[in-house]
Amino acid sequence: MRRIDLDHNATTPTRPEVWDAVRAAPDGNPSSAHAAGRAARRALDDARERVAAALGCEPDEVTFTGGATEANNLAVFGLAGPGRVVASPLEHPCVAEPLKKLGNVEYLPVTHAGVVEVPAAPADVRFAAVMLANHDTGAVQPVRVVVDALPGVPVLCDAAQAVGKLPVSFRDLGVAALTAAGHKFGGPKGVGLLVLRRGTPFTPTVFGGHQQGGRRPGTEPVPLAVGLALALELAVAELAGRRATWAALRQRFLAALQPLNPVVNSPADGLPNTLNVSFPGTRADLLVPALDLAGVACSAGAACASGSLLPSPVLRAMHLPDDVVRAAVRFSFGRDTDVEAVDEAAGRIGHAVRRLRGNGFVPQTPPGGRGTH
């Protein structure tokens, strides 16, 4: 049985050419003065310049980290000063949990489409956090609107789900900090990015080295940085074609699911690779493992959330009915997803949903559900 990966928002496979670049990269310490160190430094500087070109920032604004979780923690604790915090309630746990440590967080209201609304800015705001694209629903957030509503306030934008799926320009967003993870766009695991606007006050939270301007001390992972830079370049170069392909696949996939009467929780104008749907009369904590046994990988929420089968706090923030939230499953496409995969997956999903409903679940249209589109 062919396994079908429809969980690319959790991670997407490292590209073969990226592995080749990682293996070929200099493996010396870029802080060393000898030849091996100088070669590593050149490779690291080149990777930083390539990342900057792809994301619309300056090379000295790029800090390599161990992933988006580390990058977001560095940003939250390095940028927030005394005062109130404004945040989206849709954030990934690696932003949401650090924010809780700050206290005094005011959450922005959210529409039923999963997009934050931006009211008048409260007084004494010291820091704000709004992601660019949501990991559960694919909803794209009005980051620039938030920035404009909070003049002078450092805004963190978690772009982990957006890079490689949307055009991303650090300069155009106007945020103080942007984060990303290599493994979300075909790069290696264990490396991420913190892009920090030049001149932004930043308080280091890790100590013991001078590397990367003291923002993230420690020997830089040169081979991983090289791999990330190549993966990012390839993702950006292929973006337009990839988005068109994903949009067509998403439409075909959703059409194939229509006989199951799904409730669609993703906005039509969100990430083209992401579809979050609820199947009335089922529960995600039963459907996800059933689909795994049927050879289809999907999820009930962020992979970093405990167990990954708990009801999504993102969908709860959208004020969806409880039975819709508990029945929600996220499907997400990658660069290798094709027509054959989505057609076969839809058939297996139909079989699993009907089996669960036949075991005592009664399909119904939940009150307040958004229906299909």
Tell me the C-alpha distance between 106 and 29, whole Å.
43
More confident residue, 1 or 330: 330
Q: Which CATH number fits domain 16-237: 3.40.640.10, 3.10.25.10, 3.30.1360.30, 1.20.1530.20?
A: 3.40.640.10
- Catalytic residues, by residue number, are 304
Please tell me the predicted confidence (pLDDT) of residue 122.
72
Task: Give domain limits for the chain.
Answer: 4-11+239-358, 16-237
- Using pLDDT thresholds of 50, 70 and 90, give the confidence band for residue 301: low
- Using pLDDT thresholds of 50, 70 and 90, give the confidence band for residue 83: confident
Please tell me the predicted confidence (pLDDT) of residue 361.
53
Please tell me the predicted confidence (pLDDT) of residue 133.
98
pLDDT tens digits for 215-260?
Answer: 999 999 999 999 999 999 999 999 999 999 999 999 999 999 999 9
Tell me the C-alpha distance between 149 and 127, whole Å.
12
Please tell me the predicted confidence (pLDDT) of residue 306.
40
- Using pLDDT thresholds of 50, 70 and 90, give the confidence band for residue 41: very high
Tell me the C-alpha distance between 142 and 269, whole Å.
13
Structure tokens at 101: 């440590």
Is the pLDDT at 33 greater than 60, yes or no? yes
Q: Nearest Cα to 45, choosing from 237, 233, 234, 220?
A: 220
Mean pLDDT of the chain: 93
Is the pLDDT at 190 greater than 50, yes or no? yes
Q: What is the dihedral of CA 305, 84, 196, 119, to 10 degrees?
A: 90
- Using pLDDT thresholds of 50, 70 and 90, give the confidence band for residue 309: low
Please tell me the predicted confidence (pLDDT) of residue 335.
96
> What is the share, in percent, of the chain residues with pLDDT greater than 90?
86
Give the helix/strand (H/E) hosting 179.
Answer: strand 177-181
- Residues paired with 177 in a beta bridge: 156, 196
Per the CATH hierarchy, to which homologous superfamily does domain 4-11+239-358 belong?
Aspartate Aminotransferase, domain 1 (3.90.1150.10)
Please tell me the predicted confidence (pLDDT) of residue 310.
65
Please tell me the predicted confidence (pLDDT) of residue 370.
47
Q: Nearest Cα to 170, choosing from 158, 183, 185?
A: 158
pLDDT tens digits for 348-365?
Answer: 999 999 999 997 654 444
DSSP structural state of residue 164: T
Tell me the C-alpha distance between 27 and 40, whole Å.
6
Structure tokens at 359: 């075991």
